[in-house]
Amino acid sequence: MGLPTNQLALSGVLTALAAIFSYVEALIPFGFGVPGIKLGLANVVIVFALYSMGSGFALLISVVRILVVSSLFGSPAIALYSLAGALLSLAVMVPLRKTGKFSMIGVSMAGGVFHNIGQLVVAALVVETFQMLYYFPVLLIAGMVTGILIGVIVTRVSRTLEGKITVL
C-alpha cells in the first residue's frame, strides 16, 4: 500500500496493543454484574487510531485485531460478533467525528452503543430469536457507560501524547 514507515510502524504497534488489551480483558473480569457486558479496552486503541490516524487506519487495526484475537483465543463465531459490533460502531463514529460537533467522549459513547447493537442484531439473527431484542435497553445503557469511559481514557491519553508522537 506504500505506507510511510512511521504510519506502518504505529499501526502495527496499535494493532498489537489492541490485541493484547482484548487478551488482558479476558483475564481480568471487569464485571458490570450483567452477562455479556465488558469494557472493551481494545476500543481505546480504535478510538485513538480514529482520531490520530484517520478512519482507514482505525478500520484496518480493528479488523486485523479481531482476526488475530479470534484465531488465537476464540472461534469464528466470536469473530462474527466482534466484526459486526466493530464495523457498525466505526460506521457511526466516523461520520459523527466528521461533523466536528462531538467530542471524543460523545463519539466514543455512540460507538459503544452501536457496538452493542451490532452484536445484538447478529445474535438475534444467529439464534433466530427476536426475543433477544428484549436485551436492547440494557445493552444500550451499558454501551453508553463503557463508551464514555473509553472516551475519557482516550481524551487523557491523547493529551498526554500530544506532540510526543508524530503521525502523518
Partner 1 sequence: MKNKEKKNKFWGMTKADILLGLAFLLAGAFCFGGLIYLNQQPAGQLEVKVAGEIKAIYLLSEDQEVTLKELGENTFQIRDGVVEMVHADCPDQYCVHHRPISKNGESIICLPNQVVITIRGGEEPVVDGTTN
53 binds partner 1 (CB under 8 A): no
For partner 1, which is the closer residue by CB, 19 or 49? 49
Residue 19 beta carbon to partner 1: minimum distance, rounded to whole angstroms: 25
DSSP 156: H
Using CA atoms, how far apart are residues 4 and 30, in angstroms rounded to an integer?
A: 37
- Residue 108: C-alpha distances to residues 24, 48, 95, 137 (Å): 21, 10, 12, 18
For partner 1, which is the closer residue by CB, 1 or 128? 128
Per-residue interface string for the shown chain with partner 1, residues 81-120, x marking contact by CB under 8 A = ---------------x--x-xxxxxx--xx--x-------
For partner 1, which is the closer residue by CB, 32 or 67? 32
DSSP 154: H
Closest by alpha carbon to 67, among 53, 87, 97? 87
User: Can you give the length of the chain in residues?
Assistant: 168
160 binds partner 1 (CB under 8 A): no
Residue 49 beta carbon to partner 1: minimum distance, rounded to whole angstroms: 13
For residue 150, give the C-alpha cell.
Answer: 473509553
136 binds partner 1 (CB under 8 A): yes
Cβ atoms of residues 149 and 39 within 8 Å = yes
Cβ atoms of residues 86 and 46 within 8 Å = yes
What residue ranges bind partner 1 (CB under 8 A)?
A: 51-52, 96, 99, 101-106, 109-110, 113, 131, 134, 136-137, 140-141, 144, 148, 151-152, 155-156, 158-159, 162
